[in-house]
Chain A
Amino acid sequence: MTDLHEHDHAHDHAHDDGGSRAAFVRRSLTGALLTAIGGSMMVVALTGDSSFYVREFMDLPLIVTGGLVVLLGVAAIAGVVVPAHAPRSLVLVGVAAIVILVVRPGPLSVDAGLRYDVVSGERVQASFEIPPESLVGVDADPAEIRARAVELHAAQIHFAVDQLPDQFQEVAIRMVGQFDVDEDGDASLVRFRIMCCAADAVRLTTPLGLDRVAEGPTTFERGTWVELWGQWDGDVEDPLIEVSAIREITAPERPYLTLGDL
Chain B
Amino acid sequence: MRNEFDAWSTLFTAMVLQAMPFLVLGVVLSALVGVLVPTRVWDWVLRRRPVVAVPAAAACGALVPGCECTTVPLAGRLTDRGVSFAAAMSFALASPALNPIVLLATAAAFAGSPEMVLARFVASFLAVLVVGAYLTASGMQPPYRSGHAHVEGGGVLRRLSGSAQHDLAHTAGLVVLGAAIAASLRVLLPDGVLPSLADDLPVAVATMAVLAVVMALCSESDAFVAATFVLFPSTAVLTFMVVGPLVDIRLLLMYRSAFGTRAAAAIGSFAMIGAVTSSLVVGSLLL
Q: Judging by beta carbons under 8 Å apart, are A65 and B24 in contact?
A: yes
Tell me, rounded to whole Å, the shortest Cβ–Cβ distance linking B249 to chain A: 12
Q: Does B118 belong to the interface (CB within 8 Å)?
A: no
- Whose C-beta in chain A lies nearest to the C-beta of B2? A111
Q: Are B14 and A124 in contact (CB under 8 A)?
A: no
Determine whether B15 belongs to the interface, using a CB cutoff of 8 Å to chain A. yes
A54-85 contacts to B (CB < 8 Å): 54, 58, 61-62, 64-66, 68-69, 71-72, 75-76, 80-84
A-side contacts of B110, CB under 8 Å: 123
Minimum CB–CB distance for B116 against chain A, Å: 10
Residues of A within 8 A of B230 (CB): 118, 120-121, 123
Most buried by A among B180, B220, B221: B221
Verify B108–A259 contact, CB threshold 8 A: yes
- Cα–Cα, bound, A105→B14 (Å): 10
A-contacting 9-mer, from B52-60, B77-85, B87-95, B187-195? B187-195
Question: Shortest beta-carbon distance, B219 to chain A, in Å?
Answer: 10
Chain B residues in 8 Å Cβ range of A107: 10
Residues A68 and B24 in contact, CB atoms below 8 Å apart: yes
Interface residues on A, range: 35 or more
Question: In angstroms, how far is the closest chain B Cβ from the Cβ of A162?
Answer: 13
From B151, B215, B220, B257, contact of A196 by CB (8 A): B220
Select A114's contact among B21, B165, B173, B186, beta carbons within 8 Å: B186
Of residues 177 to 229 in B, which have CB atoms within 8 Å of A's CB atoms?
A: 177, 179-180, 182-183, 186-187, 189-192, 194, 215-218, 220-222, 224-225, 227-229
Across the interface, do B158 and A58 meet the contact criterion of CB distance under 8 Å? no
Would you call B112 and A125 a contact (CB within 8 A)?
yes
CB proximity of B243 to chain A, nearest CB, Å: 16
Of A41, A86, A93, A108, most B-chain CB atoms within 10 Å: A93
Complex formed: what's the CA distance from A87 to B256 in Å? 13
* Given A108-B10, A112-B10: A90 and B189 interface contact (C-beta under 8 Å): no
Q: Which DSSP category, helix, strand, loop or mixed, fits chain B's interface?
A: helix
A89 interface hit (Cβ, 8 Å)? yes
Contact digits for A106-117, partner B, Cβ 8 Å, 1 yes 0 no: 111101111110
Proximity string of chain B (7-20) to chain A, C-beta cutoff 8 Å, 1 when within and 0 when not? 10111111111101
Q: Which of A91, A99, A114, A124 is in CB contact (< 8 Å) with B109? A: A124
Q: How far is the CA of A93 from the CA of B169 in the complex (A)?
A: 9
Please report the number of residue pairs spanning A and B whose Cβ atoms sit closer than 8 angstroms: 214
Residues of A1-36 contacting chain B, CB below 8 A? 1, 12-14, 30, 34
Of A44, A53, A81, the contact of B151 (CB 8 Å cutoff)? A81
Binds B, one of A139-147, A166-174, A197-205, A229-237: A197-205
Q: A113-B4, A113-B7, A196-B18 are in contact. List 14 more A-B contacts (CB 8 A).
A: A37-B172, A41-B17, A75-B161, A83-B165, A83-B169, A107-B10, A108-B11, A111-B7, A112-B11, A123-B111, A197-B15, A199-B14, A199-B15, A202-B224
7 smallest beta-carbon distances between A and B, as pairs:
A121-B230, A89-B173, A198-B14, A195-B221, A105-B9, A65-B24, A53-B14
What are 24 inter-chain pairs, A to B, with CB distance below 8 A? Answer: A44-B13, A53-B10, A58-B17, A58-B21, A64-B21, A87-B169, A90-B172, A92-B173, A93-B173, A93-B176, A100-B13, A108-B10, A111-B7, A114-B7, A115-B189, A116-B194, A116-B229, A118-B228, A118-B230, A121-B228, A123-B109, A125-B111, A197-B218, A200-B218
Which residue numbers of B lie inside 8 Å of A, CB to CB? 3-4, 6-7, 9-18, 20-21, 24-25, 28, 105, 108-113, 149-151, 158, 161-162, 164-166, 168-170, 172-174, 176-177, 179-180, 182-183, 186-187, 189-192, 194, 215-218, 220-222, 224-225, 227-231, 257
